[in-house]
Structure 1
């Protein structure tokens, strides 16, 4: 792809004039390199192949034998994707995957795979084993009526077929039948992973997908932006927006995640693959059919040639174009002030998506956009019947093929630029380890566009946060926001991870503006100011400046050599690195030294406080656990914000540790047990409030049950 862009970069570096005219000019040039690239991609198409399917199934068997259920599930799904629909290999992959689902106690998913298996050319001699598994699922689910029907069905099958080991299967069925009146242990609680919240105070009538607590505003300096229409409290839901379009993000191996539905991004175990390509899986056949009608019939052939992997952001831009084609690319011609009256349409949001800024005329290098758009158009023209189909539609905006091709190409170019400025990375929570209390890893699932959410301006210190449920973004207030105050999102440029120069460069390069947020406007707000020394004269801040020997107190202006400060702090660090058995004494020494020379929220206090807290956890001293945890907490709040996710998780973990300590008979360490327990209760309450900002409700509900379980033991 880079080689293709390099061929055209000098001629089409900037947009001069109308984007449609520029694309037309480009498309009329020699496109031989683009056509050659496409031809080379299609010569190495990845097609359904039962031999490859069998190979993946055998790999799954290896992991299954090692009891690595997650990995075996992944390979059985790969086997299913490569198998010819309804073939023997297709059935074998389903049957093997049902065994994994059964061991994972995912009985509904197991039944789903078994039913699909029976619709295939699955070997008759292997069916009894699958039938038995089906009966065992109904037993585990305590579905007695279905179990009885299943047992009768299996007996009939065994009588009608010449099955080896018929007596063995009959004995198993008789055993299950005897056990069917035994109450199986069923956990009635079911987590709803995909439940979308609602606005408690109703939805905004002027701004789609938004709460009544916000409104769109406009001025020349800020452009369109979002402000609080009333006083907003921390945790209030401000947006619940379903993606206008999204495109799943490819992994490095040119595959998607096999546990996410390509059409709706739901979590899936018993997925159904596309009938033609080997990379897309779905919740069920209904989701697969919807995806095919909506877009996949135009992109599937390209999936087989792996062109979308290389096209990057042109992939969601292509999907946006397909969505717009349904209405003939309906657009709005109005002022930004008119958007304040109405913005957003849940039935067809294309015209409002098309109102988003593209900054294409500010971009210093648009050649990649034009080249990618040209590849998409060439693909549609030469490898699909899209344009022939579109010309027959009543809402087609052009009447001849050539004009239609170039018009659509111009739109895709524009949509790529709009996505570059406005798209959101859809991330879902997962756990890096099975024994973790909290999901701790965000995995990138898709690139999506949320037109209403996109109206929020950027701040390096935002006052909102968000999480995703499938393809829907939920935006919450991170803090109290007074009426008429602007609401700021973060475009991934955060003061806690980047210094001012890096942030300003990123804002200019990616979004073409200079950030003047509360952090960028005042150097005193920068995070590195917390890592200052204490002025011996006035206790003001003496900033640590890398690669320099001198600094000045920001309060009294006194000049200091930094070497003595650094030497003392290094001495404190050596105490932490000492392996002496008297760890407590060394930790206290390190702390006392640093208290004399470092600002109270210096980063070097974090390790000391947390190691002291951990020491008292190991020794069952609840009161000192509480003391040093709260010193660590105040330091962390100053550095990461009072409502950071890390604060919430550590509050929960510390509360659990303290409760465990008290339950193990260490109450004698507490001088006032009642007041102490009230403090722990406050920690739990605060943790719930914070974590509700970052996690969907099913996760925080799980944590609530954990605390209740510990408290009642």
Structure 2
């Protein structure tokens, strides 16, 4: 039985309604997550979990193969590949007959890509067939012949010769009658000659181009190994832990390069993006056991099957249908990706910290690593601000996720109506993860084509969007605090996150990231409401306290010029100023506008070239020019100003193009 979001909420409320007044009172008085899980388990375990079925369907796979073949015959290759992909995902792999059908689907997909001259994709699929096995023996020579033609087209003469030889060898082993055999041999020999003549001269044309952009080499710090050495983490009673600069940092600098501690694909992208690395997938590799996830390669499939997917396989659809948020999936994945003994070995060290009243000091390690679970465990969860009633619902979801682990054989043998001490401890960790992820999880995104102009920013119009495809936990980035005028832009390369400076940062400045609302697009009231509802704090960043206008409210012909006196905070608002000298009402010194206006004139030379490079999609060159322009603006003026926002938005566009893209993404920019 499967439950949708309405059903899950209904069952959850029904379960909570069964709690006695004494039990509810005991829950409110509970001082630790272990007690909360124990109190809720008997009623919460009555919520239907679902069957954990695989949804594999050999009949559907056969239908999709035949449908794809019809499209192939009509040379409608795009539709043919979609059909073969569908059949591959849903094809069972339990019997020899199942796997034979799967290899034929993959072979047909490779033949389609061969017609499209996408030779590297053909070779990937031929490797996939080799891993599956069970391809019909009498047809194997065709695979080798296709491989030989691909190598010929790519200009690899030696590998092509080996593949032609293997094609002849497997052909002679195919038990064909002599006449048919000789006919096929002549066909291979002719192909060998024709391809050498016709394809070698076009080899360069078919080679996949390496992108011109090469990410600058990231040098890690000695204490925070995912952060730039110019960054440290400070702490105080008001802000908690926060990132700050120890040296001046130029705009565009990589500040953080961090692999995810854990990551998940959301429901809408489960059959579009790799479940292991989150990259966009054009030619999916199917899970052998379920039709709920895909992988980009056999390597990712093996990695997932050896860890989290060994537990979650067959239950992914239940999680989606239950209405579980992406944070719920992530709370489970943090556990399922590690063996149970990994956490049990930490029980003695962590159990006291599961108590609300624990006063023990957290031991800070000399090296802060992204793959250290202790750094995840001690992330902020605002437990002092959390309502007890809210924890009842969190406990229900924690128990639901715990039972998926049990049914997925995470603990080995189990009884659903009995809660062991080991299971209780893991359930309490899941409850803690749900609280942590509310404030610390980050979206994983990619550039996708979009035609929804209604949602476009007033700053820059494009035919694409940076779309969320999943979520991940980055323990270092989680330490950064929020501002509605952030210091950074972040993007993903697979499930790794890259963070770069979007403005010049001075030594001792706090380095701010952004939790969603931006001053240039959202009103003060909207920003404050969103941050209070989602993150439980009142924002006191400079745009909020100084009442900065949105982009649409700004005036193009106004400049904000700083007073020339060191340490004077006054900023002049200059508009159609006739007198080039202004007296500061704060320090009484006179500032000449001439050096500032002369410095800003350099933008007239830099910005047209930057815009040209952007229009040509030379994103690295464009970024360098925009960084130069931004440095000038910050040297001779101060935000907020529409020109600063425009340049930062263009820098962001350039940076996003260094990260994830949907496989069918095609960039166009309209400024």
| TM-score normalized by the length of structure 2 | 0.71
In structure 2, distance between residues paired with 1:337 and 1:310: 37
Q: Does 1:282 align with 2:295?
A: yes
Contact preservation (8 Å) 1:128, 1:169? no
Alignment of 1:233-272 (within 5 A): 233-251=250-268, 256-258=270-272, 260-272=273-285
> Number of residues paired by the alignment?
548
Q: Does 1:506 align with 2:515?
A: no
Using a 3 Å threshold, how does the CA distance of structure 1 residues 63 and 339 change in structure 2: closer, same or farther? farther
Name the CA distance, whole Å, in 2 between partners of 1:71 and 1:329: 51
Contact 1:277 1:300 in 2 (8 A): yes
Q: Which residue of 1 aligns with 2:404?
A: 379
Candidates 485, 495, 517, aligned match of 2:519: 495
Residue of structure 2 in register with 1:186 after alignment:
203
* Distance in 1, Cα, partners of 2:156 & 2:126: 16
- Alignment correspondent of 1:411: 429
Contact 1:224 1:336 in 2 (8 A): no
Deviations 1:678-697 (A, max 9, x none): xxxxxxx9999665433317
Give me the whole-angstrom Cα distance separating, in 2, the residues matched to 1:195 and 1:653. Answer: 19
The CA deviation at 1:59 is 4.1
* Superposed CA offset, 1:182-217 (max 9, x none): 323223563269987532xx3111113001011101
Question: CA shift at 1:239, angstroms?
Answer: 0.1
Decide whether aligned partners of structure 1 residues 323 and 309 sit closer, same or farther in structure 2, where only a CA change above 3 A counts: same
CA contact (8 A) 2:519 2:548 kept: no
CA distance in 2, matches of 1:456, 1:122: 52
RMSD, aligned CA: 4.3
Q: Aligned pair in 2 of structure 1 residues 170, 367: CA closer, same or farther (>3 Å)?
A: same
Q: Is 1:427 aligned to 2:441, yes or no?
A: no
Q: Given the alignment of the two structures, is residue 448 of structure 1 paired with residue 455 of structure 2, yes or no?
A: no
**SS class of match (2:399):** helix
Alpha-carbon distance, 1:20 to partner? 2.2
Q: Indicate how the Cα distance of structure 1 residues 279 and 169 shifts in structure 2: closer, same or farther if over 3 A, else same.
A: farther
Distance in 2 (CA, whole Å) between partners of 1:194 and 1:72 is 33
Distance 2:554 2:321 in 1: 46
In the alignment, what sits opposite 1:57?
65
Contact kept, 8 Å, 1:316 with 1:448, in 2: the verdict is yes
Q: What corresponds to 1:42 in structure 2?
A: 51
Which residue pairs with 2:14 in the alignment? 7
Report the Cα distance in structure 1 between the residues aligned to 2:32 and 2:611, rounded to whole angstroms.
51
Residue 22 (str. 1) matches residue 46 (str. 2): no
CA pair 225-67 structure 1, distance change in 2 beyond 3 A: farther
- Write out aligned runs for 1:644-663 (5 A): 652-653=614-615
Deviation at 1:289, TM superposition (A): 2.3
Distance 1:343 1:461, change over 3 A: farther
Which residue matches 2:167? 154
Counterpart of 2:122 in structure 1 is 110
TM-score for both structures, normalised by structure 1: 0.67
* Distance in structure 2 (CA, Å) of the matches to 1:488 and 1:355: 21
1:221 counterpart residue number: 238
- SS of 1:488's equivalent in the other structure is coil
Report the equivalent of 2:344: 328
Cα pair distance change 1:401/1:317, threshold 3 Å:
same
Instruction: Tell me the CA shift for residue 415 of structure 1.
Output: 0.4
Partner SS, residue 416 of structure 1: helix
Could you say which residue in structure 2 is the equivalent of 1:318?
332
SS at match of 1:275: coil
Give 1:357's aligned residue.
380
Aligned-residue offset at 1:446: 1.7
Return the alpha-carbon distance in structure 2 between the equivalents of residues 648 and 389 of structure 1.
63
The equivalent of 1:89 in structure 2 is: 101
- Counterparts of 2:61 and 2:552 in 1: how far apart (Å)? 54
What SS does the aligned partner of 1:445 have? strand
Shift of residue 507, structure 1, vs aligned partner: 0.7
- Check the 8 A contact 2:140/2:170 in 1, yes or no: no
Greater RCO structure (CA 8 Å; 6+ sep) = 2
Query: Equivalents in 2 of 1:190, 1:349: separation in Å?
Result: 37
Secondary structure in 1 matching 2:447: strand
Distance in 1 (alpha carbons) for counterparts of 2:359 and 2:214: 37
* Structure 2 SS opposite 1:514: coil
2:138·2:171 contact (CA, 8 Å) conserved in 1? no
Instruction: Name the CA shift for 1:218/1:47 in 2 (closer, same or farther; >3 Å).
Output: same
Unaligned runs of 5+ in 1: 392-399, 541-554, 557-594, 597-629, 635-641, 657-684, 700-705, 707-713
Instruction: Give the counterpart of 2:306 among 293, 316, 331.
Output: 293
Residue aligned with 1:428, SS = strand
**In structure 1, C-alpha distance between the alignment counterparts of 2:213 and 2:275, rounded to whole Å:** 15
Work out the CA distance in 2 between the residues paired with 1:693 and 1:304: 34
